[in-house]
Amino acid sequence: MTNFAVDDPGPQNVSTCLKHYLRELPEPILTYELQPEFDELLKLESITRVNAVIDLIHRLPYENFVNLKCLCGLLYNVVSKSEFNKMTAQNIGIVIGPNLIWPKDPQKQLSVSSIGSFVCEVLITEYHRIFESSTPSNDQTTHQPQT
């Protein structure tokens, strides 16, 4: 991890720590298994895209869903103060999104970054609709991390 000053909880340090945490997960929070379906999102019409994101998020493993809900709640709160901190949902999507989904093949990272940014932006702007309407079942058999 890059230098992290524990005594300086500034935005850059917090952002670095958060991105590091997400990148150190055994697999992306949006999972390798669902990645092909996330890849198809940008081919859909804009109205259909948001509903497709919501459907995919509700197919995540329970732990990923809960982790993502906590993360997006925090990001939603940051965006609610964008008048002061200049961090819009789009800005946060650009910074955090690529850390939510990445390919197994690092050569394909660039193509996946725009998907992560888009999904992150939707997760923030549609936070209440996605996370407060329902919770996926706690089914431990779905979407097990690949070893």
- DSSP class of residue 146 equals P
Within 10 angstroms of residue 100's Cβ, the number of other Cβ atoms is 25
**CA 111 – CA 133 distance, rounded (Å):** 31
**The pLDDT of residue 136:** 61
Dihedral sign, CA of 107, 110, 111, 117?
Answer: positive
Residue 5 has pLDDT above 70, yes or no: no
pLDDT band for position 2 (cuts 50, 70, 90):
low
Single pTM value for the model: 0.82
pLDDT in tens, 7-59: 767 777 788 889 999 999 999 999 999 999 998 998 898 889 999 999 999 99
Q: Give residue 143's pLDDT.
A: 40
The pLDDT > 70 percentage for the chain reads: 83
Contact (Cβ atoms closer than 8 angstroms) between residue 120 and residue 11: no
Distances (CA, A) of 121 to 6, 17, 48, 88: 29, 20, 15, 9
pLDDT band at 105 (very low <50, low <70, confident <90, very high): confident
Domains and CATH numbers, the chain: 24-132 (1.10.555.10)
pLDDT at 138: 58
* Residue 127, pLDDT above cutoff 90: yes
